Amino acid sequence: MICGTALSLAVGLLVVEVYLRSGEKRLVAVILHEIIRPLMERFHNDYIIAKSRDAFGIPYFDKLLNDYSTNDGNLQSLSPQDRDTLFDIIQTNRDEVLPILDMLNIELKHLLLSVDWSFSPDIIPLVMECRTLIGRFAGLTLTEDAQNKLQACKLFLDIDGMLSAVYVKLCDLRGLQKDRCQSKEKPA
């Protein structure tokens, strides 16, 4: 049984390698994008966007994200109350989010196993960083400690940002223009 699984994996990797070597990177990007996209969109739309916009309101949450990104991911740019609200969202939804992140981590691992540096040297470090962030978040015990809250909020927002970077890179490799690649958000 194990030999059959190992053989199947080896054949699958060989097929991907043949595609990569024959210049069919776009086809591989299409397959990888279609596998990962629903999970990325579910995490982003259902947990980052919907829950946060419900808690903060659309204009304020957009401003909060802008403040976070323009300050290089420094959570000190957000008020203590905003960080507490974000932490409450994380704590309340963690049991639903972790299985999605676990599935994403598995698919990102498959992406790493399926490609090499010749596929796209830009995507490999993004995927590795994303997997690292997911692992840190999954291993984090949530407490009311101020430092723990900061770490949880930072990981949560950084995972979303890194997933977005991977998503956009896969779209680019797939040949999609950025406006066609954007995740379709659910109406607020």
**Residues recorded for the chain:** 188
The token pair that represents 170 in the structure block: 């896969």
The CB-based long-range contact list for 73-76 (8 Å cut-off, 24+ gap) reads 73/154, 73/157, 73/158, 73/161, 75/150, 75/153, 75/154
Residue 130 contacts residue 162 (beta carbons within 8 Å): yes
DSSP labels, 17-85 = HHHHHTT-HHHHHHHHHHHHHHHHHIIIIIIIIIIHHHHH-HHHHHHHHHHHHHTTT-GGGS-HHHHHH
Each residue of 40-80: pLDDT tens digit? 888 888 888 889 889 999 899 989 989 999 999 998 888 99
Band (pLDDT 50/70/90 cuts) for residue 183 is very low
Render 144-179 in DSSP notation, one character per residue. S-HHHHHHHHHHHHHHHHHHHHHHHHHHHHHT--HH
| pLDDT digit string, tens, across residues 11-22 | 555 556 655 554
Q: Which residue has the higher pLDDT, 46 or 175?
A: 46
Distance between the two ends of the chain, CA-based, in angstroms?
48
